[in-house]
Structure 1
Amino acid sequence: MTKLVYLTDSYKKTLVSKISTITKQGNQWEVILPETIFYPQGGGQPSDRGEIVGKHGKLIVTHVRMRDQDVVHEGKLNGHLKTGETVTAHIDWTSRFDHMRWHSAGHVLHEIIIQTVPGLTPAKGEHGKHAFIEYRGDINPRLKETLEKQTNMLIAEGRPIHTEMVSLEDLKKRVSWVPEHLPKNKPLRILQISGFAPTPDGGTQVKNTSEIGQIFVSEIEQLGETVRVHYHVSDLTKAPIQPAIKPSAAPTNQITLDAFRSLLLEMQNQLLELVSKTASTQLEQLKVNYFGSHGIATQLIKQLKDLPQLDRKTAGILVNEFKSSVDQAFTQQLNNATTKEVWFDVSLPGILPPEGHLHIVTQAIIEITRIFERIGFSRVRHPEVDWDYYAFESLNMPPDHPARDEWETFFIDHKFPSPLKGEGQGEVHKGKIVLTPHTSNGQVREMEKGKLPIRMINIAKCYRRQSDVSHVPMFHQFEGLFVDKNASIGDLKGVMDYFFKQYYGPDRKSRLRPFHFQFTEPSFEVDINCGVCLGKAHLPDGQGCKLCKDGWLELGGAGMVHPNVLKAGKIDPDKYNGFAFGWGVERVAMMKSGTQ
């Protein structure tokens, strides 16, 4: 882990250290030191350049980068260097100082921008030769000159720039915006320009704004939901900047009355436009940004004392008019916002409260019904408390069938003095009364109506004496029954495929697997390919699918209606046949959502 000396001393130009490792990568050599004064590229700032000099050679450092927690110095090796050798690191100070000035200039410009345009959210910045600061929000391009002028005024004040190492917890307490992905277990640095709040920073900075030079705002570029403010800084090698003169020591007559009037009028026009576009919740902050002790307008008004004595009275009148005009704009904008917030049309309909949504099982029932209705099936209802004749005997189940045992089925222990009310009024008693264990009890009841052909869907609650991690005593099931002349297994498979593609999507497939049910012959278990692995039994990364194991999921039962069931429904099996299928609604819905 390389110690970053530049974090605490950006002005250190040389450093004596020992080589931790030196390796060759292609035509380049890489050197790692236990500590470094070289800044690695990152955070929008270019890396430093320079030399690492030993007794018998030196590395011309052309690029510096972070690798894990080490700083890697890359470049061309002249002579020989070796691991453990004592070396002296020299940074290219001209390049470093330029980076410091450009980076600090970005921070000063940022302070002016967020003062001038409230509500912006910092996004990112670049502090090299193509420098910019990016925000989420909007900035009027007409503010370009104002931002440049106010930034240079702040730079000229010669404000100290202070840096400090803090923990992440302390950082969050002291700054208003914290970048994402900051390390939690090592010290971080904050930067504070005198008179402004601290901000997170990891680059190299000057100690005073007067060292920056002149800044130029070249463009305000709107990029959809973000905006970039492009800037560059004067070249000190071509136009040296004299140390800034603080306002308190500034000589008189530095500004004329006409210039002062022009600046005041320009700021008034810009501020009036800003106020008209600012939300009521941000008006107070905008006012502080302009008229607070360090506000933009306050700094301009302070220049009144630099005017000739005879012009100050006139300038004072101009300032009062400026303040009055702007204050009226603030008041009007606030009143407009208040009026909009309070007034409402009482004749408009009220706002309905949220109604929530249907239960997922109810949604599944509605969707299943609509899918089958499109191919001619009708939704019917049959008793959920029924004779065991319809639940078992009419479905070709003998009296000793395990499903008719009291351990499997809920029986109603009650002697009814009269026939069961509702459907089938007037029918004779047909055995015991049960809570229907399946919706198949509706098959023979539907046949007894004598209306052929039959295309019915019966969706209802079912009850079984099962209660464990994957079963509940009450669940929903839907029963499909098709009775007509010349029905085939192909028809059954076609209906199955149609339903699966409508309900699950075109990529899902089904298969019929031979099985045995008392009320169908032949009988099938119906499987659907897994929605997670799409029937491949493994995921794209090669791991086995944890949901299906073999690519298929069991859905329910189906088959051709047994002749004995047709006879129980008073239908001649020599003339008619059909198919039936029955699945749990909850299971069908779970297969769709990918859970089980």
Structure 2
Amino acid sequence: MLDRIEEIHDEGLAAVQAAGSTEELEELRVRLLGRKAELPNLLRGVGELPPEQRGQVGKRANEVRKALESRMAEARERLDTAELDSRLIADRVDITLPGDPLQPVGRLHLITQTLRELEDVFLGLGFTVMEGPEVETVQYNFDALNHEPTHPARGRTDTFYTSDDTVLRTHTSPMQVRAMQAHPPPLYVVIPGRVYRRDNDATHTPQFHQVEGLAVDEDITLADLKGTLLEFSRAIFGDERDVRLRGHFFPFTEPSVEVDVSCFNCNDGWMPDGSRCPLCKGEGWIEILGAGEVDPNVYSYVDDERYDPEKVQGFAWGMGIERIAFLKHGVADLRLFYENDLRFLEQFG
């Protein structure tokens, strides 16, 4: 009987090794270890053997059974892995093929397009792009920018307060002082970002985007500001554009100016059919941003002798990204930028 057990062992291991699929392996398991298989029957007949043979035969039969079970488990794992690999190769999806139905290619939102276009213009003029926090302290948002304690913008009806001394920034201008505290002059930066104000109508939204510009160096004048904004206007609105500066007031610039660009939709305010231009309202000029020379009081908040207003001067400006897109693309209502209407968004690829 021991000889037959050894034959079953050798034949079984060879058959398991040769099995080419899990189905074949299952058939082998039934044939070698099933209830009617020879090896289990030999084990059940051990009690009929002479006493001196029972221990040896029973021990060897159990060893063979365990060896076959172990080898079958290893073979199953190997075959399962091979079959999975085979299925993965056969069922592989070619992700380079177009979808069915064909899906439209995505595009940047018009605000993002305009932001990147503005950044490219000022990078070409030698400015560096910086970013700042959207939740800002009252000190940086108002105090450091020379806002009087009674300034209307400080009111809770105009500004979103998160606590008594923190706000959702109302402009990107707080980065003027932060940038000067972080970098010595000369300093040329543009700061794009999201800002918040309590306002909502066809030309205002509670959340919008601005680009703040700041240049600080020796002997900077309004002429440098005008030249910078002239290059910007021609890059965005066309080579024939001109700019004009009108006196205004901002707390953190002195002198302050409103900047207009010559209308790109008409000829001195009039359309070819003789009607008044609907974009510039017949003025021939379109207001695009506010600017001015940095107020000397702002330098005092930097607390750095390198920003002594007797040694350096600077100019700053701030513009709404939505307003630039609004004017350039003739958008009728600012709220269209945020309504996610594909009929609107798909017009700008």
Q: Given that residues 395 and 565 in structure 1 are in contact (C-alpha distance below 8 angstroms), is that contact kept between their aligned partners in structure 2?
A: yes
CA distance in 2, matches of 1:562, 1:348: 58
TM-score normalised by structure 2 residue count: 0.64
Number of the residue aligned with 1:191: none
Within the candidate set 537, 540, 543, 2:275 is matched to 543
C-alpha displacement at 1:593, in angstroms?
1.4
Given the alignment of the two structures, is residue 351 of structure 1 paired with residue 87 of structure 2, yes or no? no
Over 3 Å counting, the alpha-carbon distance change for 1:347 and 1:563 in structure 2 is: closer
Work out whether 1:589 is the aligned partner of 2:322: no
- Tell me: CA distance 1:471–1:349, structure 2 relative to 1, closer, same or farther (3 Å): closer
Partner of 1:497: 230
Measured after TM superposition, the shift of residue 540 of structure 1 is 1.2
Corresponding position of 2:126: 376
Of all paired residues, the percent bearing the same amino acid is 43
**Is the CA contact (8 Å cut-off) linking 1:453 and 1:484 kept in structure 2?**
yes
Question: Given that residues 531 and 591 in structure 1 are in contact (C-alpha distance below 8 angstroms), is that contact kept between their aligned partners in structure 2?
Answer: no
| Other structure's SS at 2:280 match | coil
The aligned residue for residue 408 of structure 1 is 158
The equivalent position to 1:473 in structure 2, one of 201, 206, 229, is: 206
Displacement, 1:479? 0.1
Cα 1:594–1:469 change in 2 (3 A) is closer
TM-superposed deviation, 1:390: 0.6
Matches of residues 200-349 of structure 1 in structure 2 within 5 Å?
A: 349=96
Structure 1 residue 469: deviation in Å? 2.7
Measure the CA separation in 2 of the matches of 1:355 and 1:433: 41
Inter-partner Cα distance in structure 1 for 2:145 and 2:331: 33
Out of 415, 440, 444, which is 2:177 matched to?
444
The equivalent residue for 1:264 is none
Amino acid at match of 2:312: Y
- Name 2:42's counterpart in structure 1: none
Which residue does the alignment assign to 1:102?
none
For residue 240 of structure 2, what is the aligned residue in structure 1?
507
Shift of 1:347: 8.0
Which structure carries more strand by proportion? 1
* Local SS of the residue matching 2:273: coil
Q: Distance in 2 between matches of 1:476 and 1:440?
A: 12
- Which of 264, 280, 288 lines up with 1:555 in the alignment? 288
Q: Distance in 2 between matches of 1:449 and 1:356?
A: 38
Query: TM-score, normalised on structure 1?
Result: 0.38
Distance 1:464 1:510 in 2: 28
Answer yes or no: is the 8 Å Cα contact 1:532–1:594 preserved in 2.
Answer: no
Which amino acid counterpart does residue 569 of structure 1 have in structure 2? V
Aligned equivalents of 1:444, 1:568: Cα separation in 2: 7
Give the whole-Å Cα distance in 2 for the aligned partners of 1:348 and 1:471.
43
Distance 1:454 1:554, change over 3 A: same
2:257 is the alignment partner of 1:524? yes
Aligned with residue 388 of structure 1, among 128, 138, 152: 138
For 2:180, what is the secondary structure of its paired residue?
A: helix
Gaps of 5+ in 1: 1-345, 414-430
- RMSD value over aligned CA atoms? 1.7
Q: Report how far residue 348 of structure 1 moved.
A: 9.9
The 2-side partners of 1:533 and 1:559 are apart by 28
Q: CA deviation at 1:351?
A: 2.7
What is the distance in 2 between the residues matched to 1:502 and 1:468? 29
**Which one of the candidate residues 567, 573, 576 is aligned to 2:312?**
576
CA distance in 1, matches of 2:235, 2:204: 27
The aligned counterpart of 2:149 is 399
Q: Distance in 2 between matches of 1:375 and 1:578?
A: 16
Q: What's the secondary structure of 1:466's corresponding residue?
A: coil
Query: 1:468-515: per-residue Cα shift (whole Å, max 9, x none)?
Result: 232110000000000011111110000000001111111222111110
Separation in 2 of the partners of 1:477 and 1:562?
20
Q: For the structure 1 residues 347 and 466, does the alpha-carbon distance in structure 2 shift closer, same or farther, using more than 3 Å as the test?
A: closer
Higher normalized helix content (fraction of residues): 2
Give the deviation of 1:551 after TM superposition. 1.2
Which 4+ runs in 1 deviate beyond 6 A?
none
User: Which stretch of structure 1 is more off in the superposition, 447-456 or 557-566?
Assistant: 447-456
Higher relative contact order (CA 8 A, sep 6+): 2
Q: Shift of the alpha carbon at 1:595?
A: 4.0
Deviations 1:87-141 (A, max 9, x none): xxxxxxxxxxxxxxxxxxxxxxxxxxxxxxxxxxxxxxxxxxxxxxxxxxxxxxx
1:368-397 CA deviation, whole Å, 9 max, x = no partner?
A: 101100111111011110101111100011
Q: What is the DSSP-based 3-state SS (H/G/I as helix, E as strand, rest coil) of the residue aligned with 1:478? A: strand
Q: Structure 2 stretches of 5 or more lacking a match?
A: 1-92, 333-349
Equivalent of residue 216 in structure 2, options 472, 479, 483: 483
TM-superposed CA distance for 1:568, in Å, is 1.1
